């Protein structure tokens, strides 16, 4: 997949969500692959938990069984067996119905599978994710998963129509998220929830501060910090800065952050040719970061006055 296709695929999943404070936030809807992976992980975990508890209870029951035989069938041993049976029935019910509820009601809003896949649930309207939503979206799992899967297994491939019907049912609900923009599952439709990617981003140092900070640290004790030769080597005229807009500024920021020599070289050549300066030769990085800082200062000053320049083609 080329970078362009990947970027387009990402764009298709971008949405804007408005918080109750009225702040619009860009969010990314979780893709079908991540959803499926999370589901498979969760089902595996549930299955392991079920097998584990069953084995553990059977172990205990084995001990109790001997006790029953010794006591002659109708003593405290039988009572213990009954109790274990009840515990087993209730635990199985809880694994099936409460596993998703328990985890999605927590502060993380995600089951272990979802957490590993880097996704979580949220309210579609930007408001609070309520317990009712989580309950509604998980009750629907019953017809999506837990009803058809045993049906398919029970019917078996050789019983024709029944198997076809169960598989069709299963397929309709499994493929449901693929047929709407927001990848909503039937349960999400009912609950008013959706599944989003969890963002994770470190605060990067500001580009325009690199030089100054280094200089400030080096010259902390000397009073001449401001006059440090490192502080600003290149000065650009108003006309030299007026050629570019916000789009170019952000491209320049990306290039500087990536720090790849050949990219810096190319961009330096382009900018130097455009504004007709050649004094940055051999010191391209310094030249570009000074240009970046001054271009940003100019554009931000414009912003404060209500003038914005989107790119090099627009006025301002």
The answer to the question of residue 235 lying near another protein (CB under 8 A) is no
The answer to the question of residue 215 lying near another protein (CB under 8 A) is yes
Residue from 46, 50, 190, 230 touching another protein (CB under 8 A): that is 190
Binding mask 5-44 for another protein (x = CB under 8 A): --------------xxx-x-xxx-----------------
Distance of CA 144 to the CA centre of its chain: 24
Q: How far apart are CA 145 and CA 165, in angstroms?
A: 14
Neighbour count for residue 149 (Cβ, 10 Å): 13
Residue from 29, 38, 122, 267 touching another protein (CB under 8 A): that is 122
Residue closer to another protein by CB (options 44, 301) is 301
What contacts 24+ positions apart, CB below 8 Å, involve 233-240? 233/283, 233/286, 233/287, 233/290, 234/279, 234/280, 234/286, 234/287, 234/290, 234/291, 235/290, 235/294, 236/275, 236/290, 236/291, 236/294, 236/295, 238/298, 240/275, 240/277
Buried/exposed 24-62: b ≥16 CB within 10 Å, e otherwise: eeebebbbeebbebbbebbeebbeeebeebeeebeeebe
Residue from 46, 80, 116, 139 touching another protein (CB under 8 A): that is 139
The answer to the question of residue 93 lying near another protein (CB under 8 A) is yes
Residue from 64, 68, 152, 249 touching another protein (CB under 8 A): that is 249
Residue closer to another protein by CB (options 96, 277) is 96
CA contacts within 13 A on the Cβ side of 292: 25
The answer to the question of residue 267 lying near another protein (CB under 8 A) is no
Residue closer to another protein by CB (options 226, 237) is 226
Least separation in angstroms between residue 117's CB and another protein is 14
Choose the stretch contacting another protein; rule: CB under 8 A; options: 7-15, 35-43, 45-53, 220-228: 220-228
Six token digits for residue 297: 């200062």
The answer to the question of residue 206 lying near another protein (CB under 8 A) is yes
The answer to the question of residue 204 lying near another protein (CB under 8 A) is yes
Residue closer to another protein by CB (options 202, 313) is 202
Residue from 52, 62, 106, 160 touching another protein (CB under 8 A): that is 106
């Amino acid at each position: 997949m080329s970078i362009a296709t990947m970027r387009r695929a990402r764009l298709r999943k971008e949405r804007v969500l408005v918080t109750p404070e009225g702040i619009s936030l860009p969010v990314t809807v979780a893709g079908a692959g991540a959803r499926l992976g999370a589901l498979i992980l969760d089902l595996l975990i549930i299955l392991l938990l079920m097998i584990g508890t069953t084995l553990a209870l059977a172990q205990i029951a084995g001990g109790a069984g001997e006790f029953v035989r010794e006591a002659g069938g109708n003593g405290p041993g039988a009572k213990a067996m009954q109790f274990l049976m009840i515990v087993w029935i209730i635990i199985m019910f809880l694994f099936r119905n409460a596993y998703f509820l328990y985890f999605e009601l927590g502060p993380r809003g995600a089951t272990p599978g979802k957490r590993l896949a880097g996704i979580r649930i949220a309210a579609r309207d930007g408001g609070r994710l309520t317990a009712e939503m989580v309950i509604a979206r998980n009750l629907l799992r019953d017809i999506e998963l837990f009803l058809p899967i045993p049906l398919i297994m029970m019917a078996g491939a050789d019983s024709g129509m029944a198997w076809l019907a169960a598989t069709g049912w299963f397929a309709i609900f499994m493929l449901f998220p693929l047929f709407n923009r927001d990848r909503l599952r039937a349960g999400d439709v009912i609950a008013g929830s959706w599944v989003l990617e969890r963002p994770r981003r470190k605060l990067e140092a500001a580009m325009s501060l690199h030089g100054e900070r280094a200089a400030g640290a080096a010259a902390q004790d000397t009073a001449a910090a401001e006059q440090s030769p490192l502080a600003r080597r290149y000065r650009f005229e108003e006309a030299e800065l007026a050629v570019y807009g916000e789009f170019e500024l952000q491209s320049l920021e990306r290039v500087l952050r990536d720090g790849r020599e050949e990219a810096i070289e190319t961009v330096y050549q382009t900018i130097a040719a455009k504004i007709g300066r050649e004094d940055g030769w051999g010191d391209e990085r310094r030249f570009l970061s000074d240009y970046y800082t001054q271009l940003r200062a100019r554009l931000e000053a414009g912003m404060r006055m209500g003038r914005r320049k989107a790119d090099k083609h627009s006025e301002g």
